[in-house]
Structure 1
Amino acid sequence: MNPVISEELFEFLLNLEKNNNRDWFNDHKDEFKNIEKKTKLFFNAALENLSVHDDIEKLKVFRIYRDVRFSKNKLPYKIHFSGSFKRKKPEFRGGYYLHLAPNNKSFMATGFWEPNKEDLLRIRKEFEMDDTEIREIISNKKFNEVWGDFEGDELKTAPRGFDKEHPAIDLIRKKQYIFTKNYSDKQVLDPNFLDEVNTAFKAIRPYFNYMSDVLTTNLNGERII
């Protein structure tokens, strides 16, 4: 039987939002530990499913404790559970992220959140040279129905060294190449949500295959790893 996300997870997070302090949290530590254990079972089951069709290097379930040292927000706890699944580098690029939060704020994200400057330049150069394949991938009906279009930060104009009139400037000026998919509380609590997570993550593979090929070759198509 598949692990499920229980309603008690959302109830706990809603109560934590109203009582985001150490005294309340310590009084409800046993409840938190029980919910955390069940949630980690869900993430590990998602990892098992992903590993059937992808090469995952690491699952990281993030701690609920916030690092407030350099933040204006001094509340000590996050109001969500989340985890990331990293693909095996250097041959496989990209990653998956799952975020569970009440009030219909759950979502999945995938792609390239903060590519380093070398990878970002390589991606932009690829799109400058030929944007045909990436546009075919993201405009594919089945892909688009699941993930929609690119999201993420972008420059207001062309990066240095690129023509602002280039036909692919809409892609070139991006700083992030990510996709997100939002979920209601009802969808997350559905017994089949684990299968939904796997199906959605599996649908991103044409994009990952393409980007991994780009980032492991030079502009002449020669392997660099």
Structure 2
Amino acid sequence: MQLPPLFDFLARLAAHNDRAWFQERKAEYTRLRADFEEDVAFWRQELNRLDPALAGPLGRTSVFRIYRDVRFSKNKDPYKTHFSAYFTASAGKDIDAPGYYVQVGPGGQTLVAAGLHQPDKTQLAAIRQEIDYNAAGLQAVLGAPGFRRHFAGLSGEQLKKAPAGYDPAHPEIELLKFKSFTASQEIPDAEALAQKDFRGYVLARLGALVPLCGFLRDAVG
């Protein structure tokens, strides 16, 4: 995948986000998407090696559609202005199990992330219980040099108070307050465009996130 032509197309799409403009350039979009899918296939192959759970019979990859769901949105632009993909070891919904996410687009839209976004009540309780019983395991994941090289820690919304059933003085209360358990790195356009091997650049970050997905996968069972 060559980022300059992709960023150029997506920037023009952001400025002309309508069906007529897009349909006139559908062939260009199709070529760019095919190039992105080649990189997605590479990342999947390498993740299968790094995280054997993804190589199992339930593993799946989702390359998301460029079409936006505007039914419940005030923003009626029909198209996303980024390409994205998700890798998981679950055959269910894309967000029902820990997984890896790659998003590529101009204007600061490029990022690499992993974890479990907005787990359901059962999953959330299981993760908090695992943190309560095995905080050292998660701290080891978050403190590993490979992880710290690219990620500052967990990201996302937290409760303002201790979750029900947990003492506000719990030594891991800040971890227990998280409502999602993800880590992400936003990549500036200039940094993304400067990479001679963008595939490898993204893969290094995905590889650093494997232990986090493993911890969460073990927690939710």
TM-score category by the smaller chain? 0.7 to 0.9
The match for 2:140 among 132, 136, 148 is 136
Matched, 1:211 2:216: yes
Structure-to-structure mapping, 1:81-92, within 5 angstroms = 81-88=83-90
The match for 1:150 among 154, 157, 160 is 154
State, as a whole percentage, how many aligned pairs show the same letter: 31
Alpha carbon RMSD of aligned pairs, Å? Answer: 1.9
Asked if structure 2 preserves the Cα contact closer than 8 Å seen for 1:66 and 1:75, the reply is: yes
Equivalent-residue separation in structure 1 for 2:211 and 2:68 (angstroms):
35
Instruction: Write the deviation string for residues 54-98 of structure 1: whole angstroms up to 9, x where unpaired.
Output: 2321111111111111111111111111110112479xx520000
**Structure 1 residue 47: Cα displacement:** 1.2
Residue 174 of structure 2 aligns to a residue whose secondary structure is: helix
Rg larger in 1 or in 2? 1
Equivalent-residue separation in structure 1 for 2:190 and 2:89 (angstroms):
29
Structure-to-structure mapping, 1:1-225, within 5 angstroms = 4-54=1-51, 55-56=53-54, 57-88=59-90, 94-189=98-193, 190-216=195-221
Asked if structure 1 preserves the Cα contact closer than 8 Å seen for 2:116 and 2:216, the reply is: no
Change (3 A) 1:66 1:76: same
Question: Which sits farther off after the overlay, 182-191 or 199-208?
Answer: 182-191
**Structure 1 residue 191: Cα displacement:** 3.1
- TM-score, normalised to structure 2, is 0.88
Equivalent-residue separation in structure 1 for 2:124 and 2:151 (angstroms):
21
Asked if structure 2 preserves the Cα contact closer than 8 Å seen for 1:97 and 1:109, the reply is: yes
* Unmatched 5+ stretches in structure 1: 217-225
- How many pairs align? 211
Structure 2 letter corresponding to 1:68? V
Asked if structure 2 preserves the Cα contact closer than 8 Å seen for 1:187 and 1:193, the reply is: no
Equivalent-residue separation in structure 1 for 2:40 and 2:110 (angstroms):
14
* Unmatched 5+ stretches in structure 2: none
Structure 1 letter corresponding to 2:159? L
Structure 1 letter corresponding to 2:75? N
- TM-score, normalised to structure 1, is 0.86
